[in-house]
Amino acid sequence: MAGAILAIDQGTTSSRAIVFGSDFQPISVGQKEFPQHFPRSGWVEHDPEDLWSTTAAVCREALERAHIPVADIAAIGITNQRETAVVWDKKTGKPVYNAIVWQDRRTADVCAKLRAAGKEKLITSKTGLILDPYFSGTKVAWILDNVEGARARAERGELAFGTVDSWLIWHLTGGGKHVTDATNASRTLLYNIHDNCWDEELCDLIGVPMSMLPEVKDCADDFGMSRADLFGRPLPILGVAGDQQAATLGQACFEPGMVKSTYGTGCFALINTGKEPVSSQNRLLTTIAYRLNGETTYALEGSIFAAGTTVQWLRDGLGIINSASDTQAMAERSSREQQIYLVPAFVGLGAPHWDADARAAIYGLTRATGPDDFARAALESVGYQTRDLIDAMQADWSAQGQTVLRVDGGMSASNWTMQFLADILGAPVDRPKVSETTALGAAWLAGSRAGAWPGQTEFSAKWLLDRRFSPEMEQGERDKLLAGWRDAVRRTRSN
């Protein structure tokens, strides 16, 4: 099948590769988990060598399982966990420290100092981001300041910084290319999203020498050729986007006002706001949705740190479920008499609260509360948090109008959760047939650049609905539940 694409999805907990046919359907998948390192409370690291070795292995696995000649692969597309920072030696390709992961909070004090120095407004106006340890810039500076000799080496031009896409491309191309795309660059705190370039003032302020930074390309662009020995022949890398932006493309959210929400470990909702960046009054992020043919399309993003991870906590922390899908029957059994609220601030609260010090809490327990009610509260917390994001989006951008939410990610498989989401939003929730929207978005970038896949209009027309969840809840009930949720969040916040 000519026109097939190898899509790499390097995520927080696993590396995946999917071969898509020219009909946009997955042909084969390879997936490998890798170790998470938690050296101290609030620190999260990955070994960069693991990111690369698992990626190379899953690519080979997917290619073998596809049972098609490698010559039929038109291109490689890459999508990745965003913000995670890798610093390596330009000569040897060896990392100088582990990758510091997006969830890592170690630079909270650096952010607090910058805030106290009155720098947040400047940073937000240029980057569209909030001054938070979530983003790459302060993580890179931490490596330079804490690994012996690293800052001097960086200043001599010997070290490279990259988000995970850059690190993978460096290795895929045999160390020849130090590149990234505009979406990944827009998550670093170092990139000016209005001028579309690295920002010297921000690099000075945060302490990252500009010689470390990769060249920034469009999302569909020439990122180099893979080494001939890796997959049997060199393959062109023609598409790159951060995973949430890739999901936005895979969901064909090309029109202003279209919004997608991805439910994996966390939840990330992006609304396409068109060619003009909308600056948020409600603590959402302004970010680059995609850059194609030199033209930038922007999005407002709401990032929530706990969605599927709350279900994992029911399994691994409380031991009340064996597998994530058990929650469906439990939530169905739970009595509405039991109105408990779980605010899943396990690593603080993300948008729109940005409260790094809040910790999770449960309210409304009685002697009759049981495991079924905990499961329901966990699933409901995902709906409530999404509602908070959508409210913020509507307040920021009046052009939005009626919301139809396109959903994807592992947790969107939960029918109960998706129905509650529609109920609490009071708006329809659409789940597509292809659940691998993140990888599909990367594949579309590469496939369209290769000329093997169609452009936006035809691709959008092929987006197929699996199921629409329509709101069934009475307005009075919704208002009552939301009032209880807001009260629970207020009591959980540290600020």
- Contacts to ligand G3P by CB under 6 A: 11-12, 81-83, 102, 242-244, 264-266
In the complex with ligand G3P, the residue whose CB is nearer, 243 or 373, is 243
In the complex with ligand G3P, the residue whose CB is nearer, 81 or 334, is 81
16 has binding-site annotation: yes
Angle at 210 (CA atoms; ends 208, 211), nearest 5 degrees:
115
12 has binding-site annotation: yes
CB 218 within 8 A of CB 237: no
CA distance 178 to 222: 12
In the complex with ligand ADP, the residue whose CB is nearer, 203 or 411, is 411
134 has binding-site annotation: yes
Nearest distance from C-beta of residue 218 to ligand ADP, angstroms: 25
CB 217 within 8 A of CB 223: yes
14 has binding-site annotation: yes
Burial class (CB within 10 angstroms; exposed 0-12, middle 13-18, buried 19+) of 71 = exposed
Classify residue 199 by its DSSP letter.
-
In the complex with ligand ADP, the residue whose CB is nearer, 325 or 470, is 325
55 has binding-site annotation: no
**Largest Cα–Cα distance in the chain?**
66
CB 263 within 8 A of CB 114: no
26 contacts which partner out of ligand ADP, ligand G3P, none, CB within 5 to 8 A by kind? none
102 contacts which partner out of ligand G3P, ligand ADP, none, CB within 5 to 8 A by kind? ligand G3P
335 contacts which partner out of ligand G3P, ligand ADP, none, CB within 5 to 8 A by kind? none
Q: Which residues bind ligand ADP (CB under 6 A)?
A: 11-13, 264-265, 308-309, 311-312, 324-325, 327, 409-411, 413-414
384 has binding-site annotation: no
Nearest distance from C-beta of residue 84 to ligand G3P, angstroms: 8
411 contacts which partner out of ligand G3P, ligand ADP, none, CB within 5 to 8 A by kind? ligand ADP
CB 312 within 8 A of CB 339: no
Nearest distance from C-beta of residue 307 to ligand ADP, angstroms: 7
280 contacts which partner out of ligand G3P, ligand ADP, none, CB within 5 to 8 A by kind? none
Count CA atoms closer than 13 A to 353's CA, side-chain side: 25
369 contacts which partner out of ligand G3P, ligand ADP, none, CB within 5 to 8 A by kind? none
Nearest distance from C-beta of residue 262 to ligand ADP, angstroms: 7
Q: For residue 203, give both structure tokens.
A: 């690099």
In the complex with ligand ADP, the residue whose CB is nearer, 128 or 308, is 308
Scan for tokens 């690369």, then name that residue.
52
Nearest distance from C-beta of residue 27 to ligand G3P, angstroms: 22
Burial class (CB within 10 angstroms; exposed 0-12, middle 13-18, buried 19+) of 476 = exposed
DSSP sequence for 310-331: HHHHHHHTS---SSTTHHHHHH
- 142: CB partners within 8 A, 6+ apart: 100, 106, 107, 110
Question: Measured in whole angstroms, how far is the alpha carbon of residue 462 from the centre of its chain?
Answer: 24
Nearest distance from C-beta of residue 266 to ligand ADP, angstroms: 7
438 has binding-site annotation: no
Classify residue 409 by its DSSP letter.
S
Q: For residue 305, give both structure tokens.
A: 């740190």
Which is it for strands 73-80 and 237-242: parallel, antiparallel or unpaired? parallel
Specify binding-site residues for sn-glycerol 3-phosphate.
12, 82-83, 134, 243
Specify binding-site residues.
12-14, 16, 82-83, 134, 243-244, 265, 308, 312, 410
Specify binding-site residues for glycerol.
82-83, 134, 243-244
